[in-house]
Amino acid sequence: MKLGVLISGRGSNLKSLIDACAQPDFPAEIVCVLSNNPDAAGLAHAARAGIPTQVFNHKDFARRETFEALLDEALRAAGVELVCNAGFMRILTDGFVAKWHNRQINIHPSLLPSFKGLHVHQRTLEAGVRISGCTVHYVRPEMDEGPIIAQAAVPVLPDDTPETLSARVLEAEHKLYPMAVRLIAEGKVRVVNERVALNFNGSDAAGPLFVPPLASE
């Protein structure tokens, strides 16, 4: 499956997808990386892996639709089948989201539908929850909404700061995102009535429900 990855910044989730795609048995490849931020550090990950990158600086466009038309064109020109938002911090219009309906996914650093939006870890700590995590979901017009494909739970520890919690959740993100992409590329994910149905049999059935182990295996 051909992936197009949208980034705005650091690109650590992009890096986890690049590493997954480098495995011979991984059923997807990244064909383009697009950024709205010319200074996104993640662009270097793509360049090192020999993946074509393009920058469309949203500040250069008076209209959001013009910016998105270029994104759309670049994705189609590269033959993208699945768009992966990986720390892409621009809100997309309903028109763009409709064009990629059930073909665009996002990762968010909370157990959705809790803690949508920004400053997630700060708000998670303020709320005093004991378990946080991350979610991969299909993109819908409302920010951080859409059918949930996979989630990982991550403990909140008593001394956590937004930084330490963010780092622990990020480790889980780096396992969850490739896992979710694999499920989609293997045709195991269907959206039925705005919920995700996973096609599994036998002992695989609980696969996506496991918390990804934090230590490397």
> Could you list the residues that contact ligand GAR (CB under 6 A)?
9-13, 42, 86-87, 107-109, 144, 170, 173
- Identity of the residue, 77 or 91, whose beta carbon is nearer to ligand GAR in the bound complex: 91
- Residue 1 beta carbon to ligand GAR: minimum distance, rounded to whole angstroms: 20
Q: How far apart are CA 140 and CA 160, in angstroms?
A: 32
Active-site entry in 45, 101, 108, 137: 108
The yes-or-no answer on residue 119 being catalytic is no
- Identity of the residue, 142 or 204, whose beta carbon is nearer to ligand GAR in the bound complex: 142
The first and second tokens of residue 110, run together, are 């909370």
Q: How far apart are CA 207 and CA 217, in angstroms?
A: 16
Q: Kindly report the number of other CB atoms within 10 A of residue 14's CB atom.
A: 29
User: Is residue 83 within 8 Å of residue 75, measured between CB atoms?
Assistant: yes
- Residue 187 beta carbon to ligand GAR: minimum distance, rounded to whole angstroms: 25
Both ends of the chain: CA-CA distance in Å? 26
CA–centroid distance for 30 within its chain: 13
- Identity of the residue, 11 or 178, whose beta carbon is nearer to ligand GAR in the bound complex: 11
Assign 114 to helix, strand or coil: coil
Which positions are catalytic? 108
